[in-house]
Chains A and B, each alone.
Chain A
Amino acid sequence: MISRSNAVKIFISVNIVSWLLLLVVNLLNFLGWNNYPALGVPVYLKGLLLNLFLAFIFFYYRITVGQLRDDTFINLLTRLVVTGCTTVLVSVLMRFLVFLLGENLLAQHAEVSTIFYHVNIGLITIFLTQTFFVWKILILYQKSRGLLTFWYFFEYCLLASLLLNFFQTNTFGPVFLGLFGILSLYGFILSVNLRWVAYLNFKEKWQGILLIILVVLFSLYFMYTLWDYVLDRARSVDIFANVYMLAMFTFIFIYALFSILVILFNLPTTSVFEQKIEELLNFQKLTQSLQMGDSETKVYETLIEGTVKATLAEAAWLEVTDDKGNIQSFINRNISRSQTQAIKEYLNAKNGHRQLTVPLMKNLKKKSGFTDSMLIPYKSLLTVPLLFQNKHYGMLTLLKEEKDGFDNENAETVTVFARLAGVAIENFRLVSNALENERYKEALNIAKKVQQSLLPTCTNLSDQFELSIFSHASDEVGGDYYDFYKMADTQTAIIIGDVSGKGTSAAFHMAQMKGVFQSLIEMNLHPDEFLRHANNALSRCLEKNQFITASYFLIDTEFHSIQYARAGHCPTLYFSFRDNEVYYLQDKGLGLGILRSEDYSLHISKQEIIYYSGDAMLLYTDGIVEAKNTGGEEYGYERLLHFMRTHIQQPAEQFTHLLVTEIQQFCGSENLDDDYTAVFLKFI
């Protein structure tokens, strides 16, 4: 394929060569070669040269003007007028030369006239062809497929009409007139496509009219000049005996006329159309600004900008309020914050303090006085609520200096803007909420990790007993607690505890409990004393309606004894290997933090049992016995006892695993809505 720039070069070369050849031929003709028919130039050769010239000018502009498709209409027309100006200037210069030389001289040296004539032909062809293709761009603006086909047909027909130049036809014979008629009709039909006019603003319309008039004047001038030449002298190449040129000129003239008329008629409605276009553009801007994820302030500014332009308001302010009605964002134009405050107070006094759900148009009456004192020059306002799904997000108020400055049309436009803004604000809120939630989640995850680090994982405390644990919190963090301490080689302390309530507050108290227990353990206390001290310490940090339950076990593997005390915690389940019996260790014991005085020791007791190899203990929290099935029935103490009896032969690890499975199966879900913990201990 030949590249575009190469094609353009070829077209230009062919143009110049064919034009020069045509000039030479005509000069020869003029100098009397015609008298020698043998040397005469045949009609078809002259036709060929002319056609080459015309057709290649045509192709040249087809490509070069076609490239300017995206330029503005006014630029296109200006370019055209520049060409017109240049060509006309050259032509006028030649006239001036003729005037200087004098008519007589020219008559004697007719070859000079022939040269001028040919230059003029070149100039007009250049100008008309460029005009033709500029018109093409205008006509095909927002084209349909049908229109495009129609246009190509027109182009081909026009080119085809060049074929006539090969023959010495009767200039105004039937073929000539027929073809000219058809082409003119085509041009006429095409000339009704004037969509581009609608996209000119007021100023551009005037420019357009002026430029098109210039184009018409230039072409008329050329026609007149050529006509002059043709009338004066018989020319071997008569440019008027040419359907192509005539049809092109007619088409250009018709379209210019139509354009001027349509632009003129469109002038009065331009401002309305312009405003609508601006509204649309501003809408687009706002939507884009939303899609691009612009900052909140940017979106609000676009909103104010858009509505001010759409309503031609002189001042405006935008208030975005949060859920509690506090002003979150405030943006103002040509009005101070104190002035907006005064207007708001005035409106509130007029309308009561209810929130607007529909646009409100109002005149600010002079007699109410506040406008003067606040130096407010505005006489009318339009205030529109920013709503999304009936939720009030703020107000947009526009002001004008004249009375009754706003109409329903304005209110509707601004409402649409406001609706869009409502969506935007809702989105901002959602995003910021999501971010906040994300932060909370992150914080909770950290809390979870911290809490997990408070609970021991090592169960290998003694070769005298096996130990296994399962613990689960219904939320990220919970109030269940267990701990093991190696007191001496043969002594181990085991604690299980449960803070009333769930979640974060329970988790904090659980951490406090760990702190208290850890410091008390150093004191080497008996279990009841231990719990008494714990009650003292914890009473100071628990809320009035909060308590902690706990059981404390001190296992001595040397004497095979278990000392323990219970502070309101779920009774421990015990398996006696010798008796082959499972039972709850019953004794009195009050929860921690309930009685916040020394009387607490009255409500607690220390127990001691001797264990034997094969005995086992199950420590657990209330989440296990209170686990509910879908029927609302609790798992309960009976089932737990039965479970222990049934599975007591299992190794410790397996036992807790089976217990958890059993509870989950009982509830019919894996996520129980309480914290639950089990510590199983089996003596070897």
Chain B
Amino acid sequence: MEISTSHEGSMHIIAVNGDLDASSSIVLDRAIAEAVSASKHNIVIDCNQLNYISSAGLGVFMSYLQDFQDKNISLLLFGLNEKVMNVFEILGLDQLLTIVPSKEEARMLVNDPLL
């Protein structure tokens, strides 16, 4: 798995490429932790190239739920393929995370002052 970070406007985009399993989830965790410590408020995960997510990968997202709420950080996921989306849905994480179809929608949400 590979991870690349980029910035678009106020969005701190972390693009995940490949399988998110027990070992690679540590890399993602580090990337998110770095973004948090750099006081990024809009962390956006680009899942267009994410093929598979294991429970450890899901664990990364859920471990930040409370943290983000406390620090008023918004976490957005976009570009999930059907299979990965299904995993989020079965676990119910889709109810807690903001998941949008594409980067455009993510940008709109980030820029929406009401959110």
Q: Which residues of A contact B (CB under 8 A)?
A: 500-501, 544-547, 549, 567-571, 588-591, 594-596, 603, 622, 634
Q: Which residue of A lies closest to B59 (CB)?
A: A545
**Given A501-B22, A545-B63, A590-B96: A568 in contact with B90 (beta carbons within 8 A):** yes
Compute how far the CA of A622 lies from the CA of B54 in the bound complex, rounded to whole angstroms.
10
Tell yes or no: B60 within 8 A of A by CB.
Answer: yes
Q: Which residue of B lies closest to A571 (CB)?
A: B90
Compute how far the CA of A571 lies from the CA of B59 in the bound complex, rounded to whole angstroms.
20
B55 to chain A: which residues have CB within 8 Å?
500-501, 547, 622
Tell yes or no: B1 within 8 A of A by CB.
Answer: no
Q: How many whole Å from B44's CB to the nearest CB in chain A? A: 20
Tell yes or no: B62 within 8 A of A by CB.
Answer: yes
Tell yes or no: B93 within 8 A of A by CB.
Answer: yes
**Given A570-B90, A603-B92: A546 in contact with B59 (beta carbons within 8 A):** yes
A547 to chain B: which residues have CB within 8 Å?
55, 58-59, 62, 91
Which of A567, A571, A595 sits near B96, CB closer than 8 Å?
A595
Known pairs A544-B63, A595-B65 / 9 extra A-B pairs, C-beta < 8 Å: A501-B22, A501-B55, A568-B92, A570-B90, A588-B92, A590-B92, A594-B92, A595-B96, A603-B95
Query: Across the interface, do B65 and A594 meet the contact criterion of CB distance under 8 Å?
Result: yes
A634 to chain B: which residues have CB within 8 Å?
83
Compute how far the CA of A228 lies from the CA of B99 in the bound complex, rounded to whole angstroms.
130
B83 to chain A: which residues have CB within 8 Å?
634
Query: Across the interface, do B56 and A590 meet the contact criterion of CB distance under 8 Å?
Result: no
B90 to chain A: which residues have CB within 8 Å?
549, 568-571
A590 to chain B: which residues have CB within 8 Å?
91-93, 95-96
Compute how far the CA of A590 lies from the CA of B95 in the bound complex, rounded to whole angstroms.
8
B37 to chain A: which residues have CB within 8 Å?
none
Q: Which residues of B contact A (CB under 8 A)?
A: 22, 29, 55-56, 58-60, 62-63, 65-66, 83, 90-93, 95-96
B92 to chain A: which residues have CB within 8 Å?
567-568, 588-591, 594, 603
Compute how far the CA of A547 lies from the CA of B56 in the bound complex, rounded to whole angstroms.
9
A622 to chain B: which residues have CB within 8 Å?
55
**Given A590-B96, A594-B93: A501 in contact with B66 (beta carbons within 8 A):** no
Compute how far the CA of A591 lies from the CA of B62 in the bound complex, rounded to whole angstroms.
10
Query: Across the interface, do B91 and A545 meet the contact criterion of CB distance under 8 Å?
Result: no
Query: Across the interface, do A500 and B65 meet the contact criterion of CB distance under 8 Å?
Result: no
B95 to chain A: which residues have CB within 8 Å?
588, 590, 603
A546 to chain B: which residues have CB within 8 Å?
59
Q: How many whole Å from B26's CB to the nearest CB in chain A? A: 10
Compute how far the CA of A591 lies from the CA of B59 in the bound complex, rounded to whole angstroms.
11
Compute how far the CA of A634 lies from the CA of B53 in the bound complex, rounded to whole angstroms.
12
Compute how far the CA of A603 lies from the CA of B96 in the bound complex, rounded to whole angstroms.
9
The 15 sampled A-B contact pairs (Cβ below 8 Å) are A501-B55, A546-B59, A547-B59, A549-B91, A568-B91, A590-B92, A590-B95, A591-B91, A594-B62, A594-B65, A594-B91, A603-B92, A603-B95, A603-B96, A622-B55
B62 to chain A: which residues have CB within 8 Å?
544-545, 547, 594
Q: How many whole Å from B22's CB to the nearest CB in chain A? A: 7
Compute how far the CA of A603 lies from the CA of B94 in the bound complex, rounded to whole angstroms.
11
Q: How many whole Å from B29's CB to the nearest CB in chain A? A: 8
Query: Across the interface, do B96 and A594 meet the contact criterion of CB distance under 8 Å?
Result: yes
Compute how far the CA of A571 lies from the CA of B66 in the bound complex, rounded to whole angstroms.
27
Q: Which residue of B lies closest to A548 (CB)?
A: B55
Compute how far the CA of A567 lies from the CA of B96 in the bound complex, rounded to whole angstroms.
14
Compute how far the CA of A388 lies from the CA of B65 in the bound complex, rounded to whole angstroms.
50
Compute how far the CA of A322 lies from the CA of B5 in the bound complex, rounded to whole angstroms.
41
B55, B65, B96 — most chain A CB neighbours (10 Å)? B55
A500 to chain B: which residues have CB within 8 Å?
55-56, 58-59
Q: Which residue of A lies closest to B66 (CB)?
A: A596
Compute how far the CA of A596 lies from the CA of B65 in the bound complex, rounded to whole angstroms.
10
A500, A549, A603 — most chain B CB neighbours (10 Å)? A500
Q: Which residue of A lies closest to B60 (CB)?
A: A545
Compute how far the CA of A76 lies from the CA of B65 in the bound complex, rounded to whole angstroms.
94
Q: Which residue of A lies closest to B96 (CB)?
A: A595
A545 to chain B: which residues have CB within 8 Å?
29, 56, 59-60, 62-63
B65 to chain A: which residues have CB within 8 Å?
594-595
Compute how far the CA of A549 lies from the CA of B90 in the bound complex, rounded to whole angstroms.
10
A545, A569, A590 — most chain B CB neighbours (10 Å)? A545
A501 to chain B: which residues have CB within 8 Å?
22, 55-56, 59
Compute how far the CA of A544 lies from the CA of B60 in the bound complex, rounded to whole angstroms.
9
Q: How many whole Å from B76's CB to the nearest CB in chain A? A: 18
Compute how far the CA of A545 lies from the CA of B32 in the bound complex, rounded to whole angstroms.
14
B58 to chain A: which residues have CB within 8 Å?
500, 547
A568 to chain B: which residues have CB within 8 Å?
90-93
Q: How many whole Å from B90's CB to the nearest CB in chain A? A: 6
Q: How many whole Å from A504's CB to the nearest CB in chain B? A: 14
B56, B66, B91 — most chain A CB neighbours (10 Å)? B91
A589 to chain B: which residues have CB within 8 Å?
92
Q: Which residue of A lies closest to B86 (CB)?
A: A637
A549 to chain B: which residues have CB within 8 Å?
90-91
Q: Which residue of B lies closest to A499 (CB)?
A: B55
Q: How many whole Å from B54's CB to the nearest CB in chain A? A: 8
Q: How many whole Å from A473's CB to the nearest CB in chain B? A: 15
Give the 7 A-B residue pairs with the shortest CB-CB distance, closest first: A590-B92, A545-B59, A500-B55, A545-B63, A568-B91, A544-B63, A591-B91
Q: How many whole Å from B68's CB to the nearest CB in chain A? A: 13
B66 to chain A: which residues have CB within 8 Å?
596
Compute how far the CA of A501 lies from the CA of B21 in the bound complex, rounded to whole angstroms.
10
Compute how far the CA of A545 lies from the CA of B64 in the bound complex, rounded to whole angstroms.
8
Compute how far the CA of A501 lies from the CA of B96 in the bound complex, rounded to whole angstroms.
21
B29 to chain A: which residues have CB within 8 Å?
545
Q: Which residue of B lies closest to A570 (CB)?
A: B90
Q: How many whole Å from B7's CB to the nearest CB in chain A? A: 26
Compute how far the CA of A501 lies from the CA of B56 in the bound complex, rounded to whole angstroms.
7
Q: Which residue of B lies closest to A568 (CB)?
A: B91
Compute how far the CA of A494 lies from the CA of B60 in the bound complex, rounded to whole angstroms.
30
Q: Which residue of B lies closest to A567 (CB)?
A: B92
Q: How many whole Å from B1's CB to the nearest CB in chain A? A: 14
Q: How many whole Å from B33's CB to the nearest CB in chain A? A: 12
Q: How many whole Å from A326's CB to the nearest CB in chain B? A: 28
Compute how far the CA of A434 lies from the CA of B91 in the bound complex, rounded to whole angstroms.
41
B63 to chain A: which residues have CB within 8 Å?
544-545
B22, B56, B62, B93 — most chain A CB neighbours (10 Å)? B62
Q: How many whole Å from A66's CB to the nearest CB in chain B? A: 76
Q: How many whole Å from B27's CB to the nearest CB in chain A? A: 14
Q: How many whole Å from A606's CB to the nearest CB in chain B? A: 15
Compute how far the CA of A679 lies from the CA of B107 in the bound complex, rounded to whole angstroms.
45
Q: How many whole Å from A140's CB to the nearest CB in chain B? A: 72
Compute how far the CA of A546 lies from the CA of B22 in the bound complex, rounded to whole angstroms.
12
Q: How many whole Å from B113's CB to the nearest CB in chain A? A: 25
Q: How many whole Å from B64's CB to the nearest CB in chain A? A: 9
